[in-house]
Amino acid sequence: MQNQTIVLASRPQGVPTAEQFRFETSETPRPAAGQVLLKTRYVSVDPYMRGRMSAAKSYVAPFEVGQPISGGVVAEVVESQNAAFPVGSTVVGNLPWQRYSLSDGQGLNRIPTDQAPVSYFLGVLGMPGLTAYFGLLDICQPKAGETVVVSGAAGAVGMVVGQLAKIQGCRVIGTAGSDEKVAYLKQLGFDEAINYKTANIAEALAAAAPAGIDCYFDNVGGAITDAVYDLLNKHARIALCGQISTYNATETPVGPRPEGKLLKTSARLQGFIVSDYYRRWPEGVQQLTEWYAQGKLQAEETITEGFDQIPAAFLGLFSGENTGKAIVKVA
């Protein structure tokens, strides 16, 4: 049985391209004692993976050139030497971009197949959902009636942030990069949505947030964030989750210094990664699943088909091709 693996061929300078990825073929291995053989069903492509393609030290170790790229994967156990993961069970975990992978079960979680499409455990019920959950509820701590802004609002994390903020009774404003995404956000229940590519972002935000901004969940950075800083209310809270506008920069991004604005408003800005909260993941998954079951939380996916399309789906994140969670369906 032939296996296929996607390895990092080279580190990108600036915007990554297809050249950074190489497909390798090998024999599919057999599980040893304690191991399972997993057949990849869904692969998650996420903006944070861009950081791992660079050699620079970050919160997750870099990918190594010549080694498999890895990330969130939903897979099915097809051979098992591990009683915790019988054949036929469905799991989610951090796994290589491979058609078939071996695992000793470390870091693997079984997921139910009767509650939601299993790919949702890579999105609204998985890492992006948990990122939204902890970043919004733990860091921003929005109160009913407050104004919450989320950038990258139509992305996998942002769409959950906005919905959670609505559940909390907030006024919710999202920014996104197309009129289609803006329409989608309105349909999701956002009070205001702004196409940052066509609007004057500072004016549009000021108009959308007449009472100022209490909470900001930032996935994007750059000019949108600059404009938010100008509208912060006293004691504003900022969850710094992503900076996709700068991930492909080849020089140090420069902008207006934010410190003076944060000082004047006694604002709090907290950088975070979802793994900071790993001890509380079960709480998060349980609450998200409950809201999903109650119809309070909608999912949205942009699904690309085919193992060979994984690099293209990843690259599409940086041109804004996805609405909601970007997923590759492999098998």
**Distance (Å, whole) CA 53 – CA 46:** 12
Nearest CA to 302 out of 125, 119, 69 is that of 119
**Distance (Å, whole) CA 151 – CA 317:** 15
Nearest CA to 55 out of 67, 72, 71, 43 is that of 67
Report, in Å, the least distance between residue 306 CB and a second copy. 32
Q: Half-sphere exposure (CA, 13 Å, Cβ side) for 110?
A: 12
Q: Does 263 bind a second copy (CB under 8 A)?
A: yes
What number of other Cβ atoms are within 10 A of residue 175's Cβ? 31
Residue with smaller CB distance to a second copy, 73 or 220: 220
**Distance (Å, whole) CA 305 – CA 273:** 29
DSSP of 34-82, one letter per residue?
T-EEEEEEEEE--TTHHHHHSSS--SSPPPPBTSB-EEEEEEEEEEES-
Q: Does 234 bind a second copy (CB under 8 A)?
A: yes
How many Å is the Cα radius of gyration of the chain? Answer: 20
Report, in Å, the least distance between residue 76 CB and a second copy. 34
Segment 154 to 173, residues that bind a second copy, using CB under 8 A: none
Residue with smaller CB distance to a second copy, 230 or 321: 230
Report, in Å, the least distance between residue 246 CB and a second copy. 6
Segment 56 to 75, residues that bind a second copy, using CB under 8 A: 57-59
Residue with smaller CB distance to a second copy, 70 or 243: 243
Q: Half-sphere exposure (CA, 13 Å, Cβ side) for 250?
A: 6
Specify which residues 37 forms β-bridges with.
Answer: 79, 102
Stretch that binds a second copy, among 61-69, 80-88, 218-226, 311-319 (CB under 8 A): 218-226
219: its two tokens: 């996935």
**Distance (Å, whole) CA 49 – CA 86:** 30
**Distance (Å, whole) CA 151 – CA 103:** 36
Residue with smaller CB distance to a second copy, 92 or 267: 267
Q: Does 243 bind a second copy (CB under 8 A)?
A: yes
Contact (CB, 8 A) for 327 and 303: yes
Residue with smaller CB distance to a second copy, 195 or 225: 225
**Contact track, a second copy, 265-284, x by CB under 8 A:** xxxxxxxxx--x--------
Q: Does 86 bind a second copy (CB under 8 A)?
A: no
Residue with smaller CB distance to a second copy, 139 or 188: 139
State which of residues 199, 240, 303, 312 lies at the interface with a second copy (CB under 8 A): 240
Residue with smaller CB distance to a second copy, 116 or 262: 262
Residue with smaller CB distance to a second copy, 30 or 234: 234
94: its two tokens: 């951090």
Residue with smaller CB distance to a second copy, 36 or 232: 232
10: its two tokens: 């080279």
State which of residues 155, 158, 242, 311 lies at the interface with a second copy (CB under 8 A): 242
Residue 28 dihedral angles phi and psi, to the nearest 5°: -70, 130
Segment 15 to 54, residues that bind a second copy, using CB under 8 A: 51
State which of residues 253, 280, 305, 308 lies at the interface with a second copy (CB under 8 A): 253
State which of residues 2, 250, 252, 319 lies at the interface with a second copy (CB under 8 A): 252
Q: Does 241 bind a second copy (CB under 8 A)?
A: yes
Interacting residue ranges for a second copy, rule: CB under 8 A: 51, 57-59, 218, 221-222, 225, 234-235, 240-243, 246, 252-260, 262-273, 276
